[in-house]
């Protein structure tokens, strides 16, 4: 009886093991995904790195189409500039000798995006801002000298033109239709490499990083986790259809290298700026005529708001468009042209689509009551005329000079001065003055505008002294005889 019991137990154990083995076999015969390894390998110390690939599974995103459509339309931008004669500085000359005062050539690089077959190229203003020459190398290794059609420091966009035809180019997409979590590709030339493609998702929209200076700056960056590094500036951010949705511009990093966050200027801003530069050579910027800030919790409590949405007006510009439309300080703008605006960057983007003289509508809250009014937008000069180069500065001694913005004055701890935004043949160029220099005084007198520079030099007939700040922050001062 005992023998029969032991035999039965042994039989059940064998049968159970057989069933388990069959079940395990069935499981491993149905892999979730297939991974294959290339036979190529690279020895790295004591470890091996293998090239791997994964078979496309149903539902996965395929980036190959977007990459093929865009990689040949992204270019390498190389700039050259000369650091000219330095002002007299006995201390530096004692340490560095004559090398300190001799002109020397410097260079930089970035990326650009071809937007038409006849050679128009978008890049960042900060890539070419101080360039004396700009060369563009296509993905097929051809190199062209580029002309700067125009640039806009307020949006960090510049437009170049090369003499070429039948070029591959990227078509515009719609950045306002981008959704959080949507896949995007960044195409550029990091570290002087040829066109490189990285992928990521849209992490956020409407980011304001306070990177751009000036009273009329527009910042509403698309944040992604696509890898960007030095040299990617001016490159393309495209969706999976290969359409341009942004111009890559910046990274947020403690080390200067990619750390997980990258930022692009939305094409909704870029397209308007580029169209203006092509047609007028200057951006036709529309101005509401208000000082604004985001809504905070104190505002919400005071105005009995249901949410922290909208933009608070903190000041009205005299004779501006907003004042003429009846807007007042402490009004809360909630919509512009029937589009919700929940932050200052969103309002700037919507206004930035317009030109001076355009008609729009503004919806605002005042003491709990919502009102919509028509508004006629104006330019920086306070009228509806076409903006010309003269409005953005006046030429004196061959240099185009503009009054410093309030932010620039604060950053440099000065209350006066003019900035050199462009330089051509003339007295200032002969002295070694460059774009980006700040002129604080001429002939011993402080200057606040280009007209004062002209006035204090007797209409450019007498220049005995000049002083200011160079692009690197050092002070310069020239004296000319008695």
Phi-psi region of 368 (alpha: psi -120 to 50; beta: other; left: phi over 0): left
For the purposes of burial, counting CB atoms within 10 Å of the CB of 369, is it exposed (0-12), middle (13-18) or buried (19 or more)? Answer: exposed
78 as an active site residue: the answer is: no
Whole-angstrom distance, CA of residue 473 vs CA of residue 128: 19
Distance CA 343, CA 295 (A): 8
In sequence order, the β-bridge partners of residue 110 are: 77
CA 105 to chain CA centroid, nearest Å: 26
User: Looking at the DSSP assignment, which residues form a beta bridge with residue 108?
Assistant: 79
* The pLDDT of residue 278: 94
**Residues shown for the chain:** 482
Per-residue model confidence (pLDDT) at position 46: 42
pLDDT by residue, tens only, the chain of 482 residues: 444 444 455 445 544 444 333 333 233 333 333 332 232 333 334 444 444 444 445 555 778 999 999 999 999 999 987 765 554 555 555 555 555 555 667 788 999 999 999 999 999 999 998 788 999 999 999 999 999 999 898 899 999 999 999 999 999 999 999 999 999 999 999 888 788 999 999 999 988 887 876 667 788 899 999 999 889 999 999 999 999 999 999 988 887 778 889 999 999 999 999 999 999 988 998 989 999 999 888 888 887 787 888 899 999 988 889 999 999 999 999 999 999 999 998 998 999 999 999 999 999 999 889 999 999 999 877 888 887 765 666 778 888 888 787 667 878 888 889 988 878 778 888 888 888 899 999 998 999 888 788 888 888 888 889 999 998 888 988 887 65
Q: Are 244 and 238 in contact (CB under 8 A)?
A: yes
Give the model's pLDDT for residue 10: 47
H or E element: which one contains 407? helix 406-412
Contact (CB, 8 A) for 273 and 149:
no
In this structure, the number of other CB atoms found within 10 A of the CB of residue 54 comes to: 10
The active-site residue out of 76, 78, 111, 126 is 126
The catalytic residue among 175, 195, 220, 233 is 233
| Burial class of residue 180, CB neighbours in 10 A (0-12, 13-18, 19+) | exposed
Report CA-CA distances (Å) from 254 to 124, 223, 259, 261: 22, 17, 8, 11
CB-based contact 51:40 (threshold 8 Å): yes
Q: Is 156 a catalytic residue?
A: yes
* pLDDT of amino acid 208: 85
Evaluate the CA torsion angle 405, 406, 411, 415 in order and state its sign. Answer: positive
pTM of the model: 0.71
Rg for the chain (alpha carbons), in Å?
Answer: 30
Residue 195 is classified by DSSP as -
- The catalytic position among 156, 203, 262, 331 is 156
195 is catalytic: no
Q: How far apart are CA 44 and CA 41, in angstroms?
A: 10
**What six digits make up the tokens of 387?**
């903006």
List all residues 6 or more positions away from 19 whose beta carbon is below 8 Å from its beta carbon.
none
Q: What is the pLDDT of residue 385?
A: 85
Kind plus residue range of the DSSP H or E element containing 478: strand 475-479
* CA distance to 157, 169, 239, 283, per residue, from 247 (Å): 9, 14, 12, 17
Domains of the chain: 64-283 (2.40.10.120), 290-376 (2.30.42.10), 393-479 (2.30.42.10)
Distant-in-sequence, close-in-space partners of 165: CB < 8 Å, separation ≥ 6: 117, 118, 119
């Amino acid at each position: 009886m005992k023998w029969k019991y032991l035999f039965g137990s042994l039989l059940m154990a064998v049968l159970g093991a057989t069933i388990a083995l069959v079940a395990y076999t069935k499981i491993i015969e149905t892999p979730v995904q297939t991974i294959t390894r290339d036979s190529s390998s690279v020895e790295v110390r004591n470890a091996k790195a293998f090239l791997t690939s994964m078979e496309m599974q149903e539902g996965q995103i395929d980036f190959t189409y977007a990459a093929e459509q865009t990689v040949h339309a992204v270019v390498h931008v190389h700039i050259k500039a000369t650091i000219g004669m330095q002002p007299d500085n006995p201390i530096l000359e004692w340490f560095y000798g004559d090398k300190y005062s001799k002109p020397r050539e410097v260079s930089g690089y970035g990326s650009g995006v071809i937007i038409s077959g006849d050679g128009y190229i978008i890049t960042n203003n900060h890539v070419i801002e101080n360039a004396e020459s700009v060369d563009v190398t296509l993905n097929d290794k051809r190199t062209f000298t580029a002309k700067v059609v125009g640039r806009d420091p307020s949006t960090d966009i510049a437009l170049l033109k090369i003499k070429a035809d039948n070029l591959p180019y990227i078509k515009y997409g719609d950045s306002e239709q981008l959704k959080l979590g949507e896949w995007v590709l960044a195409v550029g030339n990091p570290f002087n490499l040829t066109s490189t493609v990285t992928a990521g998702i849209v992490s956020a929209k409407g980011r304001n990083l306070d990177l751009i200076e000036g009273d009329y700056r527009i910042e509403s960056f698309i944040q992604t986790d696509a890898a960007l590094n030095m040299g990617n500036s001016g490159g393309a951010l495209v969706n999976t259809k290969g359409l341009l949705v942004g111009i890559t511009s910046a990274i947020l990093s403690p080390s200067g290298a990619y750390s997980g966050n990258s930022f692009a200027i939305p094409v909704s801003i870029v397209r308007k700026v580029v169209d203006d530069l092509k047609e007028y050579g200057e951006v036709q910027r529309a101005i509401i005529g208000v000082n604004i800030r985001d809504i905070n919790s104190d505002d919400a409590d005071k105005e009995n708001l249901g949410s922290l949405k909208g933009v608070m007006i903190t000041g009205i510009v005299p004779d501006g468009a907003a004042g003429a439309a009846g807007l007042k300080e402490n009004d809360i703008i909630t919509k512009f042209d029937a589009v919700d605006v929940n932050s200052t960057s969103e309002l700037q983007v919507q206004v930035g689509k317009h030109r001076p003289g355009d008609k729009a509508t503004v919806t605002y809250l005042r003491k709990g009551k919502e009102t919509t009014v028509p508004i006629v937008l104006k330019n920086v000069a306070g009228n509806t005329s076409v903006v010309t180069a003269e409005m953005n500065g006046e030429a004196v001694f061959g240099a185009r000079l503009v009054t410093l913005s309030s932010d620039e004055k604060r950053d440099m701890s000065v209350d006066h001065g003019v900035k050199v935004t462009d330089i051509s043949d003339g007295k200032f160029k002969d002295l070694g003055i460059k774009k980006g220099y700040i002129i604080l005084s001429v002939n011993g007198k402080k200057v606040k505008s280009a007209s004062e520079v002209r006035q204090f030099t007797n209409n450019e007939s007498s220049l005995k002294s000049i002083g200011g700040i160079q692009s690197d922050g050092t002070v310069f001062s020239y004296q000319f005889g008695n």
